[in-house]
Amino acid sequence: MHIAIDKKHSILSLFMVALLLIIYTACGSSTPTKQTTTKTPLPKDSTTPTTSAQTDTQLPTGPIVYVALGASDAVGVGSTQPGSQGYVPLISSHLAQGSHTINLGVSGIHLHEAINRELPLALSTNPQLVTIWLVTNDFIAGVSYENYMKDLNSMLEQLHDQTQSRIVMANLPDVTLLPALARTSATRKAQLRHEVQRWNTQLAVLAKKYGITIVDLTARDSQITSHPEYISGDGFHPSAAGYVQLANFFWTAIKQ
C-alpha cells in the first residue's frame, strides 16, 4: 500500500525568497492512492555520502511498514513521474515483498506544520522504518534556528518514544550550489554555507540523542546539489537522476 499525500543570521534577498517560495509550493494536494510495494532494483552507485549510524534498531527481515515524512522532495517534485521516480518509491522498491509504504510528504510544508499534519499519522501506523527529510524548506524560508531545532527535537522524541522504528534522516546539502541561487553574491553564499554547517551540526547532535542515522548530504562535495544532472529544470528540486542518488544514499544508511 502506498499512500501519497500531495498537496538567523540573515535572510535571502526578497527576490530569491519569492522565487524559492514559488518553486517549493508549486504543487497542490491530490487524492491519496494505494499501491503494493514491488521489488525493482535501483541503479548502483559506488559513491555514497558519509552516514552517521547511532542506533541499535535494525530493519526487520520480511515485510514491514515504511513511513516517509517529508515535503515536495518526498512527493517527487522535479521528476517526470513522481509516483515511481521519487526517492520514496525507490527506497520502497528495496523492501521485502508485501511491505507497505506510507508517503506522508506534502509539498511546501515546514517542520512545525508536519508535526501536526504528518507525525500523528506516522505514529498511528506502527512503522518499522521511518525516513525524514524536512529541513530545506525551513532553511530557505528563514525559519529561525532556535524554532526549527525545538520542533525537530519534539518530532524525534515522539518517534523515539512511541515507535520501535529504524529512523534515518537527511540533513541539508550545500544549497548555494543550486541553480536557483546562482545570482546570490559570494558573500551571501559564504554566510549560507556557514549556516548550513551550523544547522547540520545540531541535526547530528539530536540524531545521536535519539539513536537516529544521519544521511550527510554535504559529504563528497554535496553530490545532490553539485551535479547539474541531479537538479531538475526548476533549479531547486532533484531530477529523476538526482532522486536515484538520493534513494541510494538513504538505502545505504538504512542497511547499516
**What digits encode the pLDDT tens for the residues 213-251?**
999 999 878 999 999 999 999 999 999 999 999 999 999
| CATH of the structural domain 2-255, one choice from 3.40.50.740, 1.20.1250.20, 3.40.50.1110, 2.30.31.10 | 3.40.50.1110
User: Is the per-residue pLDDT at 15 higher than 80?
Assistant: no
> What average pLDDT does the chain have?
84
pLDDT at 9 over 50: no
**Whether the Cβ atoms of residue 114 and residue 134 lie closer than 8 Å to each other:** yes
Rounded to whole angstroms, the Cα distance separating 168 from 97 reads 21
The grid coordinates listed for 183 are: 545570482
Instruction: Give residue limits of the domains in the chain.
Output: 2-255
Q: Which residues are CB-contacts of 42 (< 8 A; sequence separation ≥ 6)?
A: 90, 93, 94, 244, 247, 248, 251
The three three-digit cell numbers of residue 244, written as one number: 536515484
Q: What is the pTM of this model?
A: 0.81
Q: Is the pLDDT of residue 183 over 60?
A: yes
Quote the DSSP letter at residue 59: P
Helix (H, G, I), strand (E, B) or coil at 188: helix
What are the start-end ranges of the E strands in the chain? 2-4, 51-52, 65-70, 100-103, 129-133, 166-170, 213-215
Dist CA 71 CA 89 (whole Å): 14
Q: Is the pLDDT of residue 22 over 50?
A: no
**More confident: 41 or 207:** 207
* The pLDDT value given to residue 49: 53
Q: ∠ at Cα 243 (240, 245), nearest 5°?
A: 115
Whether pLDDT at 129 is above 70:
yes
